Amino acid sequence: MRSPIGEGRERLLHAMFEEFGENGPGANLSMRQVAERLDVHHTLLTYHFGSRAGLMAAVLSEARRRDNLVLAAADPEIGFVPLCRTIWSFYSDPAHEDRTRAFHHLVGLAVYEPDAFQEFVADVDELARLLEEAALRDGFTPTDARQQSLIAVSCLRGLLLQRLLNPDTEIDAAAERFIGSLAASQRTSTQSSAGVAGEEARSS
């Protein structure tokens, strides 16, 4: 039997990933079952996370934080469209299906109880921030970078949800078509910006 874990919330989260792997404990496990696997009393989990939903939110936020570190480290100078493709490839992997399912489950709960899921909701925008930074590296204006990143994240998450609801549809093809449209939009935006810059240079 393992030694008891310290009572710190972060140490408990770390222990969960050590015990259950990169996805953390599954959404089908109760607080008692998780506690038994960690060799702690279930009241310790209740103290730190409040409820099963609170535990799921904390686990998923930590999993997504780790995911974002992996995505950002893959290529620090990656462009906007390649990053979109990388994100889709990462989350459409069947190995991450349980995490995608848990994410959408918690999003539904957060819509009705935003105050109970403040940490989870605050972390939702982190992926959009990574995309925004990539768009800025590609030469997007700050406004376009912010808007394009929000569009991309929303559409990719929507496609992942559709994949869960109806896996027989051609989701991968639809995702590639959407990402291709982003690439076309980026070329148009770049050409337009270049044209404006040229006009300004000629008039100065």
Q: Which CATH code fits 1-50? A: 1.10.10.60
Q: Identify the band that residue 191 occupies on the pLDDT scale cut at 50, 70 and 90.
A: low
Which has the higher per-residue pLDDT, 98 or 4?
Answer: 98
Nearest to 154 by CA among 146, 165, 164, 143: 146
Which has the higher per-residue pLDDT, 141 or 120?
Answer: 141
Q: 110, 121 in Cβ contact below 8 A?
A: yes
**122-138 residue pLDDT tens:** 888 888 999 999 999 99
Q: Identify the band that residue 2 occupies on the pLDDT scale cut at 50, 70 and 90.
A: very low
- Kindly tell me the burial class for residue 139, based on how many C-beta atoms sit within 10 Å of its own C-beta (0-12, 13-18, 19 or more): middle
Q: Identify the band that residue 146 occupies on the pLDDT scale cut at 50, 70 and 90.
A: very high
State the Cα–Cα distance between residues 186 and 155, nearest whole angstrom. 16
**46-62 residue pLDDT tens:** 988 888 888 888 888 88
**73-119 residue pLDDT tens:** 778 889 999 999 999 999 999 988 888 888 888 888 888 888 878 87
